[in-house]
Structure 1
Amino acid sequence: MSVNASHVIFSVDWQAPPLSALNFDPNDEAVCGPAGAWKAATVSVFQGDQSIITTNYVTDYLRAILPSNETQPSDWVLLHWYNDYIVQEVTMDDTNSSVPIPGSLLEKFSAFPLLNCTTDICKNLDWTGDPDVSGRGMLITYYIAAALVTLYFFALTLSGEGFFKLHLPAGSKRAWLLAGFEESASTFLDATLIFAVSMLAAACFRLSEAFFQEYDDSSSHWMIYASIGSIYMSTFSSLLPLLLQLSAHGVRHHWLRVVLWTLIILLGIANEVLYDYFFGKAEFYVFSQLRDLLENVWLDLCSPIKLLDNGLDPTLRIAQILLVVNAICYVIWMRLRGRPDNLAGWPRLKLFWQRVSPYIKLLNMLLCCSVMWAMLAFFHVYRDKVNEAAGSDNQNSDWTFGQVLSVATWVPVGVEFATVLKYGPEEGLGKKISRKYTIVASNSFDYDEKREMQYSRVETGLSNL
């Protein structure tokens, strides 16, 4: 092999053309396809323990940029051109790192796909997605939960006004339909609380992985997409029990619900701290380690940054503010609830609160419902844009066993609703408890913590077995 000022001669049969003769046409799909595949392969090398890329990426790219009237050399000749000449055109920068010589073929070879073939780079990255958060089954679960919560919200809000109870016969189908929403609200609330805690705990684990990613020698993969989806949809899941808790009336207080709400608050705080640290440890999501180069390329070229900044991030913050404000208001209400009426100014303040609280509560519920649906819509669009950028060959839309189980989360709610709808409130609820007890309807629609609904124990003989 001999080298001159413009090209390399490998044999008497073929010589490399000069840089000016090579085909770097950004409008030529035959060039961008191999160029994007080569760039994606070189970036992915640093993600794992690999040190080389397969030869077909190199040879395909080199053949694509050769002039059409050029004699096509063998793969062995192209590889020697690449290894012994092109990759040697490097110099050292201020950080003692190797960079291409300005104006060299290596600089053009490396920069061309980044500037002109980003779509092909994204589709060739080793991107697997996050089916546990954004799979088809999970998306169906989110929509089912949001639809059910919205339906319960409107039904329970209307029933709370008392109009239906005054104008509907007690044994009518419409009254039973309304009773189905009222009597299954408690089960639905428990299901949404458990779902929210599970989502938050999973997000905390995922964000902890991202937190320790820079200290771990293993090759963590796609922590950006996984972290965004985890904290966003776990916060979305927290709005489900909040809206249901606000709209459901007559639901008994239970220590387990207090524990679950406490876990939601603590896990939400932990997730926010981990999330802010993960994305704030360097300027604009930049990771310093070489093995994070693939993450940086994906974020800069493939991720819908405008949607993140103008859609996901604002709605995430609004949802977090709603959760914090409601938690603070609940604590204040618990502190003031037992105050005596003879305190100075308290009766007047209490009367004012009784007048305005229904409107504030309704506004709060409408805001929670709107933010809940906005978050679901933004996440769906975000997921579709990422799938479009990554191409069809990824696992982001796959069904997994866990997703099937997540869809089944809401089955008990439907069963209880159908039972009450079929048999009526008293008989429907009575079928859920032991034969030693019976359901007795309360005469008052106002819930009193000191006066629980009456349960009468009835003795059963062998004839009832």
Structure 2
Amino acid sequence: MTSISNLSWVPPANNVSSLQFDNCDIPSEWLSNYFRARHEWPMNATKNMLLAGYHQYWMDSKITPPTPGEVMNWFFNTTLTNDDDSVVKALTKYTNTQCLDKFCSLLPWQGNADFAGRGMLATYATEAVFVTFYVVVLLTAKAHRSKTTGKAGFGRIHEATRESLRAFLDAALLFAIAMLVAAVYNFGITLYDSDKAVTFISSIMSAFVSLFSILPAIALHSSASSNLRRSKTRIWIWLLIGSLTIAMMGLGLFTYGSIRSRYKKVVQLDSSGQLLFEETCLDVDALGMFTGLLVCLFVILAAFVLIYVIFVCVWTQQSKKTGCFAKFRTVWTAFAAFGSMVLMWVAFGVFCYYRSHMDSRAGDSNQDHEWSFGQILALFTFVPVVIEWVTIWWEGAEDGLNGLMSDQYKVYRNDAVSQVEVEEVHEFKA
């Protein structure tokens, strides 16, 4: 009896050049089905793959093509009986080298909508635009104080910006805390249950956007923090943000090895397609660079905090002195606000670039381009800030701020309060 491997139509299975396809539909469908089925052979896709891939080889060699049954008999005899994976390697190599884009689009990769969804991207952009507006107005007012006291034009814009800063800063701080808590959860779940561990790019992206969310708060705080009250409360909030940041980076470093080792163990058995997409379809060098930029962003934030702590300690000791030190304080806060704003836009650009890179090979299952209920809620985080700014700009600071309190209290300007006190003293003497 003639051995199946000795049949004249049997192609050199380990030679990828023997495979030829008119398009990438068949090989991509075969390999995606193969991984989705946890390495169980998709019968129909395998048959179509072999008949289509080696058809040109049989024609060029003037060999009568075998029947589908003969092809399947040869394939399973070679693969299962003889434990020869050369055919599978040839088919896989061809798909990965010639049809990678099509293959990746068929994997059910869902993306990272919680951090990179369209709604979240709009939220980041909205916050960045608002922060830029606030910082530019407040720093311009500091540089030209004599020109910002009017009730019209820029003076009115500055007044609305200054008096609505508290609400914006509180919203930015709350948003940063929420992003940090989500990132800590992403890393922490890996320690709790490795089977529920998030993918590598999801963990890196969550860490990056959580650090990014701190920059707007720093820019706002530095631009006019000296004009705000409740400073002690904000100190505790910043301590909470610092603690969450340290916890997130610590968990990230601790779980990095665990996530990578999990890749090696289960990536080939991942029927969901999440790990396989990241391992096969994403540029390893690009992911490494993204990780490096994450570390750089953390180092910059840590350096900023260290300088700020040193500055506060020195300022506490020199609080009764003026002159050069007071001038340095003004320059430092302006530099911190402007530098944080620039770094915020750089980080946002980096995030958009890598988000676009990850989506370039994704298919219809990618949820990054969809809106979710949570994303819409996140976008509306800063709507009250806009309402307050418009109200103060339209009605003026006193009337606008009066609307924030009950009718039991009333807001006066400091100079107006002083005038009222003087009049009361004169009336008392009279």
TM-score (norm 1): 0.78
**Alignment partners' CA distance in 1, 2:26 and 2:191:** 35
CA distance in 2, matches of 1:36, 1:316: 34
Paired residues of 2:157 and 2:393 also in contact (CA < 8 A): yes
Counterpart-to-counterpart distance in 1, 2:418 and 2:385: 22
The verdict on how the C-alpha distance between 1:454 and 1:374 changes in structure 2, with shifts beyond 3 A counting, is: farther
Aligned residue for 1:463?
A: none
Change (3 A) 1:266 1:366: same
Question: What does 1:317-356 align with in structure 2 at a 5 Å threshold?
Answer: 317-339=295-317, 351-356=323-328
Which of residues 54, 58, 66 is equivalent to 2:46? 58
Partner of residue 246, structure 2 = 269
Alignment correspondent of 1:227:
203
Which of the residues 354, 368, 373 maps onto 2:345?
373
1:365-395 Cα deviation digits (max 9, x unpaired):
3332222111111111211121111234422
Partner of 1:40: 32
- The alpha-carbon deviation at position 261 of structure 1 amounts to 1.6
Q: Is the 8 A contact 1:210 1:227 kept in 2?
A: no
Greater relative CO, 1 or 2 (CA 8 Å, sep 6+) = 2
Deviation at 1:402, TM superposition (A): 0.4
Mapping of 1:25-424 within 5 angstroms?
28-30=21-23, 32-46=24-38, 52-68=40-56, 69=59, 71=65, 73-74=67-68, 78-90=71-83, 100=85, 104-161=86-143, 163=144, 165-168=145-148, 170-212=150-192, 214=194, 216=195, 220=197, 223-249=199-225, 250-281=227-258, 287-291=263-267, 297-310=276-289, 312-339=290-317, 351-424=323-396
Report the CA distance between 1:168 and its aligned residue.
4.9
Q: Deviations over 1:135-172 (max 9, x none)?
A: 111110010001101111111111123x2x52356332
Contact 1:236-1:375 within 8 A present in 2 as well: yes
In the other structure, the counterpart of 1:442 is 414
Distance change (3 Å), C-alpha of 1:107 and 1:411: closer
> How far apart, in 1, do the equivalents of 2:350 and 2:29 lie?
30
CA distance in 1, matches of 2:117, 2:342: 23
Pick closer, same or farther for the CA change 1:173–1:33 going to 2, 3 Å: same
Q: 1:153 and 1:40, CA in 2 relative to 1: closer, same or farther beyond 3 A?
A: same
Given candidates 371, 376, 397, the residue that maps to 1:425 is 397
CA distance in structure 1 between the aligned counterparts of 2:34 and 2:209, rounded to whole angstroms: 33
Q: Is the 8 A contact 1:156 1:248 kept in 2?
A: yes
CA distance in 1, matches of 2:139, 2:214: 20
Instruction: Determine the C-alpha separation between the residues in 1 that align with 2:185 and 2:14.
Output: 53
Q: Which moved more, 1:422-431 or 1:331-340?
A: 331-340
- Give the drift of 1:248: 1.9
Q: Distance in 1 between matches of 2:151 and 2:28?
A: 69
CA contact (8 A) 2:148 2:158 kept: no
In the aligned structure 2, how far is the partner of 1:199 from the partner of 1:208? Answer: 14
**What are the ranges of 5 or more consecutive residues in structure 2 without an aligned counterpart?**
422-430
Aligned length in residues:
411
Aligned partners of 2:16 and 2:90 also within 8 Å: no
2:32, 2:106 within 8 Å by CA — same for their partners in 1? yes
- Distance in 1 between residues matched to 2:18 and 2:418, nearest whole Å: 78
Tell me which amino acid in the other structure corresponds to 1:227. S
State the 1:175 CA deviation: 1.9
Check conservation: 1:149, 1:243, Cα contact below 8 A.
yes
- SS of corresponding position for 2:410: strand
* C-alpha distance 43-210 of structure 1, shift in aligned 2 (>3 A): farther
TM-score, normalised on structure 2?
A: 0.83
Give 1:274 deviation, angstroms: 2.0
Does the 8 A contact of 1:22 with 1:67 survive in 2? no
> Is 2:13–2:90's contact at 8 Å kept on the other side of the alignment?
no
How far apart in 1 are the matches of 2:54 and 2:307?
Answer: 70
Change (3 A) 1:191 1:16: same
Q: Percent identity?
A: 23
Q: CA RMSD in A?
A: 3.3
Contact 1:22 1:65 in 2 (8 A): no
Please tell me the residue identity of whatever aligns with 1:435.
D
Distance 1:286 1:272, change over 3 A: same
Shift of 1:307: 3.3
- Tell me how far 1:26 sits from its aligned partner: 7.3
Q: What's the CA shift for 1:327?
A: 2.7
Q: Deviations over 1:217-250 (max 9, x none)?
A: x6x5x61121121111111111110111011240
Q: Decide whether the 8 Å contact of 1:44 with 1:126 is kept in 2.
A: no
Contact 1:438 1:455 in 2 (8 A): no
What amino acid does structure 1 have at the position aligned with 2:281? C
Paired residue secondary structure (2:350): helix
Task: Report the Cα distance in structure 2 between the residues aligned to 1:418 and 1:151, rounded to whole angstroms.
Answer: 14
SS across alignment from 2:317: coil
Is the contact between residue 210 and residue 223 of structure 1 (CA under 8 Å) also seen in structure 2?
Answer: no
Distance change (3 Å), C-alpha of 1:168 and 1:225: closer
